[in-house]
Amino acid sequence: MRIKNIAVFLATVLLLLGVACTAVPAGETGPSSASTAPAKSETDVSSEESAVVESRPEGNPSSETPFEAFSDSSSGQAMLPSAPEMAQGLFSQGYPQAQVELEKMTLEEKVAQVFLFRCPSEGALSTVQTYQPGGFMLFAKDFDGKTADQVRMELESYQNASKIPLFLAVDEEGGTVVRVSRNPNLAPNRFESPQQVFEQGGMQAIVEDTVQKTQLLQSLGVNVNLAPVADVSINPGDFMYARTFGQDAPGTAEYVKTSVKTYNQQRMACALKHFPGYGNNVDTHTGMAQDHRPLETFTDSDFLPFEAGIAEGVPMILVSHNIVTCMDPDRPASLSPEVHRILREDLGFTGLILTDDLAMEAIPDYTGGENPCAAALNAGNDLLLSSNVQEDYNALLEAVQNGTVTEERLNEAVLRILAMKYCTQYQWERVVG
pLDDT in tens, 269-312: 999 999 999 988 766 676 678 999 999 999 999 999 999 999 99
- Residue 333 and residue 276: Cα distance in Å, rounded? 8
pLDDT band at 170 (very low <50, low <70, confident <90, very high): very high
Per-residue pLDDT tens over the stretch 114-150: 999 999 999 999 999 999 999 999 999 999 999 999 9
- Rounded Cα–Cα distance for residues 136 and 126 (Å): 13
The model's confidence at residue 32, banded by pLDDT at 50, 70 and 90, is very low
Q: Please check the confidence at residue 53 and state whether its pLDDT lies above 90.
A: no
* Whether pLDDT at 24 is above 70: no
Q: What pLDDT sits at residue 60?
A: 34
pLDDT band at 16 (very low <50, low <70, confident <90, very high): very low
Q: How far apart are the first and last CA of the chain?
A: 76
pLDDT in tens, 348-392: 999 999 999 999 988 999 999 899 999 999 999 999 999 999 999
Looking at residue 279, its pLDDT comes to: 82
Spell 268-287 as b/e; 16+ CB within 10 A means b: bbbbbbbbbbbbebbebeee
The pLDDT of residue 37: 35
Of the given ranges (89-98, 286-295, 394-403), which has the lowest mean pLDDT?
286-295
pLDDT band at residue 199 using 50, 70 and 90 as cut-offs: very high
Considering only residues 163 and 58, tell me which one the structure prediction assigns the higher pLDDT: 163
- 427 pLDDT above the threshold of 80: no
Give tens-digit pLDDT for 324-343: 999 999 999 999 999 999 99
- The model carries a pTM of 0.81
The Cα 394–Cα 193 span in angstroms is 39
The class that CATH gives domain 80-421 is: alpha beta
What's residue 3's pLDDT? 43
Tell me: pLDDT of 43 over 50: no
What is the helix, strand, coil percentage profile of the chain, to 5?
A: 50, 10, 40
DSSP three-state, residue 117: strand
Question: Reduced to 3 states, what is the DSSP secondary structure of residue 6?
Answer: helix
pLDDT at 63: 33
Range in 5-14, 183-192, 223-232, 312-321 the model is least confident about: 5-14
Report pLDDT for 425: 82
Tell whether the model's pLDDT for residue 12 goes beyond 60: no
At 41 the pLDDT is 35
- Pair 264, 425: CB distance under 8 Å: yes
What is the Cα–Cα distance from 146 to 207, expressed in whole angstroms? 28
- Nearest residue to 303 (alpha-carbon basis) of 275, 331, 333: 275
Q: In which band, very low, low, confident or very high, does the pLDDT at 27 lie, cut at 50, 70 and 90?
A: very low
- Which pLDDT value is given to residue 85? 65
Question: What pLDDT score was predicted for residue 69?
Answer: 39
66 has a pLDDT exceeding 80? no
